[in-house]
Amino acid sequence: MNSEFRIQNSEFNTDWLTAQAIASPDKLALVATRPHRSRRPVRSNLAYRQLNALVDGVCGRLASLHLARGSLVAAHLPSSAEYVALVHALARMGLVLAPLNTRLTSAELGAQLNHVRPALLIYDEAEPTSIPSHWEKMEAVGQTLTLQKLMALPPAPFAPAPMDLERLQSIVFTSGSSGAPKGVQITFGNLFWNAIASAARLGVMPDDRWLSVLPLFHVGGLTVIFRSCIFGTAMALHPKFDVDAVLRSLDEDAITLVSLVPTMLGRLMELRAQVPSSLRLILLGGAAASEELLAEAARRGWPVAPTYGLTEATSQVATMPPDEAARKPGSVGKPLFGAQVRILDALGEPSPNGEIGEIAVRGPTVMRGYFDNAEATAKAICQNELRTGDMGYVDAEGDLFVLQRRSDLIVTGGENVYPAEVERALRSHPKVKDALVVGLPDAEWGQRVAALVVADGITAEELLAHVRATLAGYKLPRVVRFAPALPLLANGKLDRAGARAMLLDLNEKSGFANLSVLL
């Protein structure tokens, strides 16, 4: 956490879960859903005293491994009650979590493990892809242990670590949507202020239940664990996004809040017209939501709160409440409590309202830095201000509009093309379900605009004729390719690198002239 936001005397005797177990022992803490051989998933409910007892048991078993405080523990696990308990146990023991993406290849996992060099790797023996012997070049790991064997160890006495807000809680790898993943160092202070800022914008009710379908290796999933614990509310955890299971949970579990990415919301609305009565807010982030999706959600009464955040800022930075989102589609609202947002030009100077530039964030949720990467840290954080690499602008009312990452900007013939603008034009055609725009290498123009489109019953020529009315000539896609679905990353974000690779691969095989259209 940035030193200017340091709280004096930030060391406390107990961690947040212990405090809640004392204050509200019988209040619901966790509803964990897990798959079952039958079609109906199994749910287990844990009160705060029960979750605290489970965590104490995990702490005793970790203590038997004699890990030094501050040691890093990597976890390659599906979301579960045991994983939540492990997260709390590592916090209580003064150990640092490194949650690993369960959808990575063996080579990618080996590279991340060699980078952070954990003292312990915990994996799930029930998941075939979780077996370390299948992972490539995993050299810098101390011990490896399955979660099942960890839970079977005889517990040993342990002394809890004081809750210090300056202490490192986790190293969370970025999604890699804009380059190689980097390990973001998140402190307990980052998590504390994230919870305070989120609650100040969204509100907290005593009976809140936050449905979490984002994986726990994603900062949006991890923060819900601590956010719920700090305020003594409940978390409903699903192992993955399954549209039927989510709809069932919304109907049966009295869910009041849920975190989703746009693709998830779209799939839910395909199957359900009306919002469940208990649901008061949908925190929608991870990727830009189309105006069409937001308009349809507003028409149906789904309480969508568009949000902007990133791992380096411990999730949320700005959020627009649902009652304002319909008035200003495309905006993610104003910065949260404690956060400051500036728009910077190419020289790093503040830009006037309405002008596009790089989004810079200052506040107590900004990461400590990238793990063992001083060069990337120095580039990202300048005078305690995070240079996000995202492009956007702030309007006269102070509301933020996010376009896309700077690395996604297309420069063709010296002109800047913002993919979000082209995607919006493509999606405005009634037969287009979704679109993703990237830049491809071009010997003459530097880059050419290329589009991957999900649509029914339309030709590329018809689509281009439609967007000519709203796009300047240099913004028109020179390549249009139709696909059944857009490629996604594990966290639900659009995979622009994957789309670019698909189009380049097609070029190598058959040449651009054999794609749907080449102008």
Please tell me the least confidently modeled range out of 127-141, 300-314, 334-348, 469-483.
127-141
In the chain, count of helices (H) and strands (E)? 15, 29
Q: Given this model, what pLDDT does residue 134 score?
A: 66
Report phi then psi at 38, rounded to 5.
-80, 170
Q: What is the DSSP letter of 423?
A: H
Q: Dihedral sign for Cα 178, 184, 188, 189, please.
A: negative
- What local confidence, expressed as pLDDT, does residue 518 receive? 38
Residue 7 pLDDT greater than 70, yes or no: no
- pLDDT tens-digit series, residues 49-99: 999 999 999 999 999 999 999 999 999 999 999 999 999 999 999 999 999
How confident is residue 4, by pLDDT bands cut at 50, 70 and 90? very low
42: tokens are 């199994």
Residue 236: strand, helix, or coil: strand
Residue 350 is predicted with a pLDDT of 95
pLDDT (average), residues 472-497: 83
Q: Are strands 168-173 and 11-12 parallel, antiparallel or unpaired?
A: unpaired
Segment 157-175 shows an average pLDDT of 93
pLDDT in tens, 285-299: 877 777 788 888 999
The helix (H) or strand (E) run that includes residue 299 is: helix 291-300
CB atoms within 10 A of CB 337: 14
Q: Which pLDDT band, with edges at 50, 70 and 90, does 259 fall under?
A: very high
- Torsion angle, CA of 471/393/488/423, rounded to 10 degrees? -10
pLDDT, position 444: 67
Considering the chain, what is the average pLDDT of its residues? 88
Report the alpha-carbon distance of residue 282 to residue 259 in Å, rounded. Answer: 6
Region 235-253 average pLDDT: 92
pLDDT digits (tens, 9 = 90+) for 442-467: 766 778 899 999 998 899 999 999 99
Q: What b/e sequence results for 355-372 when a residue is b if at least 16 CB atoms lie within 10 Å of its CB, and e otherwise?
A: ebbbbbbbbbbbbbbbbe
pLDDT at 8: 43
CB 75 within 8 A of CB 96: no
Residue with tokens 């994983």: 83
CA distance 54 to 24: 16
Reported as a pLDDT band with limits 50, 70 and 90, residue 519 is very low
Share above pLDDT 90 across residues of the chain, in percent, rounded to a whole number: 59
**H/E run at residue 385:** strand 385-394
Q: Which two tokens stand for residue 324?
A: 């304002």
Q: Which two tokens stand for residue 476?
A: 């028109």
Picking from 417, 428, 416, 418, the residue whose alpha carbon sits closest to that of residue 453 is 428
Q: What is the pLDDT of residue 330?
A: 85
Q: Give the residue among 103, 433, 78, 41 at the shortest CA–CA distance from 246.
A: 41
User: Over 50: is that where the pLDDT of 513 sits?
Assistant: no
Backbone angles phi, psi at 233, to 5 degrees: -105, -175
Count the Cβ atoms, other than its own, within 10 Å of residue 273.
Answer: 9
Q: Name the band, by pLDDT with cuts 50, 70 and 90, for residue 2.
A: very low
Residues 6+ apart with CB under 8 A from 263: 287, 488, 492
Residues 241 and 217 sit within 8 Å (Cβ to Cβ):
no
d(CA 399, CA 396): 8
pLDDT tens for 350-386 read: 999 999 999 999 999 999 999 999 999 999 999 889 9
Residues β-bridged to residue 79: none
Six-digit token pair at 76?
């390659």
- The three state secondary structure string of 171-220 is EEECCCCCCCCCEEEEEHHHHHHHHHHHHHHHCCCCCCEEEECCCCCCHH
Residue 273: per-residue pLDDT: 84
The pLDDT score that the predictor gives to residue 9 is 43
What is the C-alpha separation between 108 and 137, in angstroms, rounded?
A: 10
pLDDT at position 517 over 60: no
Task: Please answer whether residues 215 and 102 qualify as being in contact, where contact means their C-beta atoms are separated by less than 8 angstroms.
Answer: yes
Q: Which residue has the higher pLDDT, 19 or 38?
A: 19
Residue 20 burial (10 A CB sphere; 0-12, 13-18, 19+): buried
Q: Is residue 512 pLDDT above 50, yes or no?
A: no
Give the angle 31-37-41 at the CA atoms, nearest 5°.
25
Neighbours of 347 (CB within 10 A): 6
- Cβ atoms of 127 and 102 within 8 Å: the answer is yes
Mean pLDDT confidence for 179-186: 85
Contact status, residue 390 vs residue 404, Cβ threshold 8 Å: yes
Please determine, for residue 342, whether its predicted confidence score (pLDDT) is greater than 90.
Answer: yes
Radius of gyration of the chain (CA): 23
Q: Are 360 and 344 in contact (CB under 8 A)?
A: yes
| Residue appearing with tokens 């605009």 | 449
Q: Note the pLDDT of residue 12.
A: 59
DSSP 54-103: HHHHHHHHHHTTTPPTT-EEEEE--S-HHHHHHHHHHHHHT-EEEEPPTT
**pLDDT above 80: residue 509:** no
Q: Residue 5's pLDDT is what?
A: 43
Cα–Cα distance, 165 to 189 (Å, whole number)? 4
Tell me the per-residue pLDDT of 216-241, one tens digit each, with 9 for 90 and over: 999 999 999 999 999 999 999 999 89
- CA-closest candidate to residue 212, choices 169, 164, 245: 245
Rounded-to-integer distance, Cα 72 and Cα 410, Å? 39
How much is the pLDDT for 59?
A: 97
Angle (nearest 5°) at CA 497 between 513 and 97:
170
HSE of 297, CA atoms in CB hemisphere, 13 A = 28
Per-residue pLDDT reduced to its tens digit, 406-429: 677 787 866 778 788 888 889 999
Choose among 94, 87, 88: nearest CA to 68: 94
Report the half-sphere exposure of 87 (CA within 13 A, side-chain side).
28
d(C-alpha 31, C-alpha 250), whole Å: 12
